[in-house]
Structure 1
Amino acid sequence: MDLQETLKDIKTQFRMGMNGVTSKSMREKGLDYKLNFGVEVPRLKEIASRYEKDHQLAQALWKEDIRESKILASMLQPIDSFYPEIADIWVEDMRYPEIAELTCQNLFQYLPYASEKVFEWIADGREYFAACGYLILARLFMRKQPLNERAENEYLDQVLADVQSESAFVRRCAFTSLMKYVQQGKTEGRKALKAMEPLKQSADERLHGLYDEIKFESEY
């Protein structure tokens, strides 16, 4: 099949897997795609398994304002042809947390330049760049990929600011990454507690709670 035939075939499979209840629920929560079939992620993985990874196909899927197309794009994009500037374009195009989370899980965490790109993104200031940076860092920490001292200090400085972000999504991603960082070992736990000391001094009870969670995790 050529590209257009493949895209048509994929959309047919989206329709076959459509979940109207899920689609309606997402629309009611503000997920305003041109099309949203409500197909569940396990079914999308099954659909993706029927195709070879292909750069042109993934790029064409990503350009569609269709929830399932964007998720499938993250599953079918080859790593070796996904250059840093394309990664930036994809993040600029993100509007919903689900797409950011699945793209980081399926693709971004495996990029050879991921460990460098995350620091550019968390310092960027834009919501989805920061969120993706922290989502990738959480994945890297789970895989026990250490940071050098300079990167570690930069991370701890930035994450302190971003657990206090105005964006709930950035706050959640930053805090998740911090917990994964702490779970690497006692040394990381001590460093995190020291870096997060300002939270303990804050008048905001929520920030006190975050500090207590970090303390509990570091002592576990």
Structure 2
Amino acid sequence: MIGPSSSAAELIAHLQTLRSEENVAAMARFGIVTSGALGISNPDVKAVARRAKKDHLRAGELWQSDIREARLLALFTTEPKRLMTEEARHWANDFDSWEIVDCAADLFVEAGLDELIGEFAADEREFVRRTAFAMIAGAAFHRKNEPDAANLAWLPLIEAHSCDPRNFVRKAVNWALRNIGKRNRTCHAPALALAKTLAESHDKTARWIGKDAVRELASEKLLERLK
């Protein structure tokens, strides 16, 4: 039985027993890097995490495994308050899949590592840059009590990187813009204005980001919710 006292090696051994080659093939179809994957669904990894409980040092050992599910388990069992900026940077060096990035982004937001957003956005690596905008999207959604000004402050960064054509970056930039705009009426107007500006851009990627964001931010359903 695995539990709070289980070592990283014991948890990895348990994950190995849950391996599914069929699921590995399915994951590849969703753009998930499967070279180190066991084919375990995220809900099942989270179930293991609930039994293992939080353990920051062990999470670092799990991350070193290079196994997809062990790295997810590391993210789910890390203690956010103990996660330091340098450790987050170290993990980001290994990012090679959008799903790992998005789980890590939520963790980084919970840990309050906002100083990494600008740094990650300036990084030319696709998945590190995606992390910046996944963090913005996550903060806009999860931090309900954060001042609107803190979210609106990210709009210039969104505009600055709206011409990055790489799939996992452009989708995250779009996601960040939409999430800011959906927060409330105060954030909606500036986000929609930027979306409309991007929709008229001469750049193909910026135009896609803008038009897609306008489609949601100008929808009757959203406008009704924000009344």
TM-score by length of 1: 0.83
Q: Residue 182 of structure 1 contacts residue 192 of structure 1 at CA under 8 Å; is this kept in 2? A: yes
Q: Which moved more, 1:71-80 or 1:206-215?
A: 206-215
Q: Secondary structure at the match of 1:193?
A: helix
Residue type of the partner of 1:159? I
Partner residue, 1:96: 97
Deviations 1:145-187 (A, max 9, x none): 23536x734x212212323212210111111111010001233
Q: 1:216 to 1:196 in 2, by over 3 A?
A: closer
Shift in Å at residue 40 of structure 1? 0.7
Separation of aligned partners in 1, 2:37 and 2:210 = 39
Separation of aligned partners in 2, 1:12 and 1:200 = 50
Q: 1:30 to 1:51 in 2, by over 3 A?
A: closer
Q: Secondary structure at the match of 1:163?
A: coil
Q: Residue 129 of structure 2 contacts residue 169 of structure 2 at CA under 8 Å; is this kept in 1? A: yes
Shift in Å at residue 52 of structure 1? 3.0
Shift in Å at residue 192 of structure 1? 1.9
Residue type of the partner of 1:64? S
Partner residue, 1:130: 129
Partner residue, 2:108: 108
Partner residue, 1:12: 13
Shift in Å at residue 6 of structure 1? 1.9
Partner residue, 2:170: 171
Q: Secondary structure at the match of 2:81?
A: coil
Partner residue, 2:33: 31
- Structure 2 matches for 1:23-62, cutoff 5 A? 23-26=24-27, 31-33=33-35, 35-62=36-63
Residue type of the partner of 2:192? L
Q: 1:147 to 1:17 in 2, by over 3 A?
A: same
TM-score by length of 2: 0.81
Q: 1:209 to 1:82 in 2, by over 3 A?
A: closer
Runs of at least 5 residues in structure 2 that lack an aligned partner in the other structure: none
Runs of at least 5 residues in structure 1 that lack an aligned partner in the other structure: none
Deviations 1:76-123 (A, max 9, x none): 111232110100111111111111112223x22211x33333233223
Separation of aligned partners in 2, 1:167 and 1:205 = 12
Q: Secondary structure at the match of 2:217?
A: helix
Separation of aligned partners in 1, 2:32 and 2:74 = 22
Separation of aligned partners in 1, 2:211 and 2:161 = 17
Q: Which moved more, 1:119-128 or 1:196-205?
A: 196-205
Q: Residue 109 of structure 1 contacts residue 136 of structure 1 at CA under 8 Å; is this kept in 2? A: yes
Residue type of the partner of 2:33? L
Question: Are positions 1:67 and 2:55 aligned together?
Answer: no
Residue type of the partner of 1:88? R
Q: Which moved more, 1:133-142 or 1:121-130?
A: 121-130
Shift in Å at residue 50 of structure 1? 1.6
Q: Residue 108 of structure 1 contacts residue 114 of structure 1 at CA under 8 Å; is this kept in 2? A: yes
Residue type of the partner of 1:40? S
Separation of aligned partners in 1, 2:91 and 2:209 = 31
Residue type of the partner of 2:80? I
Q: Residue 199 of structure 1 contacts residue 208 of structure 1 at CA under 8 Å; is this kept in 2? A: yes
